[in-house]
Every structure is written in C-alpha cells, then in structure tokens.
A = this chain, B = another copy of it.
C-alpha cells in the first residue's frame, strides 16, 4: 500500500491520515486498518437512540442504503420460490466457483431484460459471488496491482474505500466534478451537470495523480449514481467509455441501482451502449440483488467481463466468496419465475419503482416548499440535499476551503440534525463531496409510518431554520 492511498488534488483526507498512522505501527494490523476505513460519522450514529415503538423520540436512520418498503411483496414470493419438495442432491457438493450454470443462465436472461439488451450475454463472462462488494473486489484485484489507483467521481459511496483498499490494496483517487463543472447552484435547484464526470475532469485527475506518482488503472462509475440519485446521460457514459479506451484504463460500471430508475427514460446501461460481445478488455460491469430487490441478506453479486485474460483468475479468486448452492437455486427460481406471461422480477420492479417515486416526490415537494436546494432525483433510493446555508459561520482562525473547518461545520450540522431533529442523513464529506453541508437522505430506509415522522421532523427543521 502506498502512503498516498487517498489524495484528491493534493488534498490529504482524514482517512489518509489515520491510514498512515496505521502503516507506521506493527505488522499484524491489517484487520485494524480495515476498521479505520469506516467513516467516523457511523460511530456517532451508533451511539444515538434509534426510533422505535418504545423510543418514539429516537433518531430516524435515513443514512443507510436500504429499502424497507418491500416486505409485503418479498416474504410471500421468497416463501414460494424457496419451497421445493426435495433438496437437490447436486447442491451438496462443490459448485463451479463462479456460480452454477443454471443460475448464470437465468441471471444473464434477467440482466438482458433489465438492461434492455438485444444481444445475449455470455454465461461464462458472468461471475456470481457473495455480494457486490465481493465481486467488485475480485474484479479490481485482477485489473490492478497493489498501490495502483481507482478513479471515482465525487461524491461517492464511502464503502468503496473499504472494498477496494482493505485487501485489494488499491489507492482511491477522487475525481472532482463539482468544482470542475463551473456550474452554480441557483435557488432550490442543483444542476445535475455539476456532477457529471467529463473528459476534462478525468484528464485533470489523471494528470494530477500521475504527477504525484500514482498509476490510475480503473475508473469506477456508480450508474445510476449513489449518493446522487440520478442516472448519467448516455453521452456522459459514452465519453467515459471512449476516454477509458483511449487511456487504457478499465471502466467498471457499477449498476446496482439499474432496476430502481423511476423517472428518467434516459437510463442506458453501459452494457447496452457498448453491446454484449463488444466490451473488449476495458469495459466491465457489476450488479447485485441487494438494492433493486432489497435482498442484501442473500449476498447475491454479479460481475460481467469479456476480458478473457482475467477470467480464469477471477473464477479462481471467486472460490473465496461463493454463494451457498441453496441460495443459488432460490435466485435461479426467482429470476426465472413467470406468471401469465409476466416475469415476477418485472412486476416486482414496476411496483417497487412506483413506491420509490412516491417517497421521492414527497420529500422533493417538501424541500421545494422551503426553497432548500436538492438534486432532482430519478433513480436509486436517495435524495442529495444542499443544507449548506445552515452551516455555522467560519471561525476567525478558519479558512473556507480548509478540510478541517469544512468537517467541523458539517459535523455540527450532522449532530444537530441527529440530536435536535432526530434525523440521520449521510454527511457529504464522508462521501468525499467537495463542499460541506450536503447530505444524502435514503428515503426508503423507513417504514411508511417512520417516513411520515421523518417528513414531519424535516418540516419542523426547515420551519425553524427559515
């Protein structure tokens, strides 16, 4: 691991400091290092009393990317899909490390429907493993050597730092978008262009990283984007594809929210844009059932790559994160189920996106009412909110762009939201946002009743502040 594990344009993050501290200690500290890769705010969140029947004043946890609106659909369906007359004898023994043939066959067909592909996916290019994090880690291990870099547009899902650093030993290189875009926030509107990666921002990050002696090998895109709750337009994805191929950098398109697009007709999978069979060595894809189907407990991840150079190694590494054969057959049944000509997955996703949209509309309407800026979301489980107007003033000894002062001010607002208003959002700086005071609200991480309470609390917060 290089000491420059996380740098953005020369700015050394808190993460990096604590990481360096661990590098200087004794040898058997890899487990401890893994722990330091977790953001600080999680400890604050853990310490507070959570909302429950017995604690109606407890804080509502809207900072964890879960969808809690689907039990009524999932429980009966999973009960049906998992009830078979007989445990299959061939499930007892070792399976192909990248997944049972039948599962890969069924999952390819599911992905073809989900992503609207007109060409068949290759069953041997699909690797199924125990969660998106597990397959993403293995994919990146085969694509880059320890110390090499992964470019990720900011803000980004904080756990990528754990997934790609802890064991893979890669170095995360944030690609700043907001400052680079030159776009301003006007009124209650955050323009989505402010967050698009462009050839210009990618070139700049690449140049700075190389100047600092780093070797970026991978560009990781979250599309639809977590935490922004938006899809990138096709031309942006196409630019990323072209830029990656020109620069011989691997593009990993993480499309774990591909089935949670509820407004835009714009979403196009990278697989759709390039076309199966034409991916070449530099384009790769990851997906899972943890978000679109809320099935994080089943640990079903998938990676797709047509790079035959890495395939055998990827299969072998996948030996260390295989899915239980029992659950493989459950998922195979689930994604293949068809009733009256309609796939269960299709009707489920239709109902789910309609529920997501209802929640999304409700919070967007509330924020508009108070002129609080937010990003107009179209996908995922998130709303990206600009609460920077409520940050405390700079102290006399603080400098505006200084990371420590940004963190102090954002943390104060985070703690106020949590302690005074009972709302837990994900703070933007923990996701490497460039400005303080932005928060991710996971509006699906609550029951209907809890969400009602959350909106009521948010209204009170806005009323008190405005």
The chain A residues found within 8 Å of chain B, CB to CB, are: 27-35, 37-38, 66, 68, 70-71, 74-75, 78-79, 82-87, 89-95, 130-131, 133-134, 137, 141-145, 148, 162-163, 166-168, 215, 217, 294-300, 309-310, 312-314, 316-317, 319-327, 330
Contacts and interface: CB of A to CB of B under 8 A. Distances in A.
Nearest to A298: B324
A283 to B, nearest CB: 15
A50 B319 CA distance: 23
A91 B297 CA distance: 6
Nearest to A74: B92
B310 A323 contact: no
A218 B108 CA distance: 42
A144 B326 contact: no
Contact of A71 (B33, B92, B310): B92
Nearest to A81: B87
A143 B68 CA distance: 38
Contacts of A86: 75, 79
B327 A326 contact: yes
Contact of A322 (B35, B130, B309, B320): B130
B296 A92 contact: yes
B323 A324 contact: yes
B71 A131 contact: no
A100 to B, nearest CB: 9
A94 B66 contact: yes
A28 to B, nearest CB: 5
A86 B134 CA distance: 29
A316 to B, nearest CB: 5
9 contacts: A27-B145, A30-B141, A35-B316, A75-B86, A90-B297, A92-B294, A130-B321, A133-B320, A162-B319
A310 B87 contact: no
Nearest to A26: B145
Contact of A31 (B32, B141, B217, B300): B141
A89 B75 contact: yes
Given A310-B31, A324-B327, A317 B167 contact: yes
A31 B168 CA distance: 12
Contact of A163 (B38, B71, B295, B320): B320
Contacts of A310: 28, 31-32
A92 B130 CA distance: 14
Given A92-B297, A134-B320, A300-B324, 8 more contacts: A27-B215, A28-B145, A34-B316, A35-B312, A74-B89, A92-B295, A299-B325, A321-B321
**4 closest residue pairs by CB, A with B:** A31-B313, A31-B142, A297-B325, A324-B327
